Amino acid sequence: MQYRDYINERVHSLYWNDDLNCATTSLLIFPEIFHINLNSQIIDAAIGMPGAGQYGAQCGLVAGGLMLIGIQGKEKGLEPKDIVKKCNNFAKGFEDEFGSLNCRNLRPEGFKPDNPPHLCEEITKKAILFTLKYLNF
């Protein structure tokens, strides 16, 4: 995929230089690739998305992908029911590819106080590439 090197470098930078989470990272990278302007409130909303505030629920990488599908779907004039169907298919595909939609299952080592930082860097890179592939970009 033509964006692999860019995504690898950008994810690494956003994690280690800016100390961002997976959802925020993906929501910053997708607009860069798709030339979309996001309202800063969308980025602000992503702060607690990963695992529902480290609860271990839906992964922020899934949530970021779903948000992108909604944004792109509206831009392309899709009906809400068609966006919902695309989101459903994305979630099924993500689960097939990664084994779960839940952060507690996807995050290496789970959530422990002594976790090293940015455990999800590699899965973030893979999930962003998966999302781009799903969108046929």
The model's pTM: 0.89
pLDDT on residue 127: 96
Q: What would the 3-class secondary structure string for the chain be?
A: CCCHHHHHHHHHHHHHCCCCCHHHHHHHHHHHHHCCCCCHHHHHHHHHCCHHHHCCCECHHHHHHHHHHHHHHHHCCCCHHHHHHHHHHHHHHHHHHHCCCEHHHHCCCCCCCCCCCCCCHHHHHHHHHHHHHHCCC
pLDDT on residue 47: 83
pLDDT on residue 123: 95
59-95 residue pLDDT tens: 889 999 999 999 999 999 999 999 999 999 999 999 9
What is the widest separation between alpha-carbon atoms in the chain? Answer: 46
> Tokens representing 40?
């800063």
Each residue's pLDDT tens digit in the chain (137 positions)? 578 999 999 999 999 999 998 999 999 999 999 898 888 898 888 887 777 777 778 888 999 999 999 999 999 999 999 999 999 999 999 999 999 999 889 988 777 788 888 989 999 999 999 999 998 75
Half-sphere exposure in the Cβ direction for 123 (13 Å, CA): 25
pLDDT on residue 115: 82
pLDDT on residue 44: 86
pLDDT on residue 7: 97
